[in-house]
Homo-oligomer: A and B are copies of this chain.
């Protein structure tokens, strides 16, 4: 099946945003056995958009569009598809009802221009979009398929994952492509690359290595005639890779470090509290991104000054003696957070996020401590000296170490822990 992507929006052509939607979709098509031959970016202009859609419709079996489904005059994707197919746009009563409910729930009157988002043409079905007001369109005609998705990446990605990819898979039948992502923390990308180099030339399953904010990810992809066969191929390579990367592996596929840590805390009935300086709230924020985190997360303290640290219970003499950026103070911060908030485990981060060094310590250094009342685990980290990068890496580093501590609470050896 030959596919084509059309990314719609003048902001792309002005270079204000980069077309990550196209690369997201491009990365998802191979596992469905779909060949992508073209990607086109076009602005919010009815004539050019229609021309683009017509060419795509004539040369491709599947046309994917993103953008141009908003409520404003600039949003012309629906109009252009209607013109291309020669069909008439009309308001769908179910869509209209849903849209009005969306606004009334928020105690807003629906602006009349939003009614555009409730329109369809006869050969289009609406694709649900719980993250926004723009439903997608699934258009089938003349044996061809056009799928129009909204432009905001979170809306588009959810729609692709939950509403579109499964439906396409059923429609396409045949060969199965299965992927599994193994997630690691602690090694550099080039180090992981060297360790797994014997597998990088394998053609089925294939292995690819990616650097992500939460560590290095390895993606194994197998092609086979059945799901079982593909799973068997992946399991074999995964087992080899696990023996190479060992304890640096913390999760798989959709798992996040904060989710893994949250599940372990829930499972073991433990509660958590944090005190952080250089990460400025990112640790607490990441922990609370997990739905249900209120059952194990007691609270967090963001201490941007020594005064704040002392008021949270950190020993002033220790601060004076070792400075705020020290393992001693990190340990005391973790203990104080635990006591202060009545939690089983306290985690702390203190370091230098930049732009300038502190206490003679360079930007990018951090001390992490985990105190569970039995012992204090102290960890030192050095990260790329960019503010956001220091905040992000130190946060994931702390969660990675916390996971290890939590696993030690169980008698189960770590390699058989179910991810």
Contacts and interface: CB of A to CB of B under 8 A. Distances in A.
A210 B44 CA distance: 13
Contacts of A209: 72, 74
A194 interface: yes
A129 to B, nearest CB: 11
Contacts of A304: 288, 293-294, 297-300
Given A18-B20, A284-B302, A302-B284, A208 B131 contact: no
Interface residues of A, number: 109
Given A40-B39, A288-B304, A299-B303, A111 B11 contact: no
Given A13-B37, A74-B208, A288-B353, 4 more contacts: A10-B208, A11-B208, A12-B26, A297-B304
Q: Chain copies in the assembly?
A: 2
Interface string A246-281: 000000000000000000000000000010000111
Contacts of A13: 26, 36-39
A15 interface: yes
A107 interface: yes
Contacts of A292: 355
Given A71-B193, A387-B289, A23 B27 contact: no
A72 B189 CA distance: 8
- Among A72, A289, A353, the most chain B Cβ lie within 10 Å of the Cβ of A72
A368 B391 CA distance: 26
A354 B291 contact: yes
Interface string A80-96: 00000000000000000
B211 A70 contact: yes
B23 A15 contact: yes
A26 B37 contact: no
A25 interface: yes
B20 A189 contact: no
B11 A17 contact: no
Nearest to A358: B294
A182 B311 CA distance: 41
A188 interface: yes
Contacts of A291: 354-355, 387
B301 A301 contact: yes
A159 to B, nearest CB: 14
A291 to B, nearest CB: 5
Contact of A285 (B36, B221, B285): B285
A30 interface: yes
A15 B27 contact: yes
Given A111-B188, A188-B108, A22 B41 contact: yes
A244 interface: no
A384 interface: yes
A340 interface: yes
A194 B114 CA distance: 10
Contacts of A391: 285, 288-289
A190 B113 contact: yes
Interface in A1-44: 10-20, 22-30, 36-44
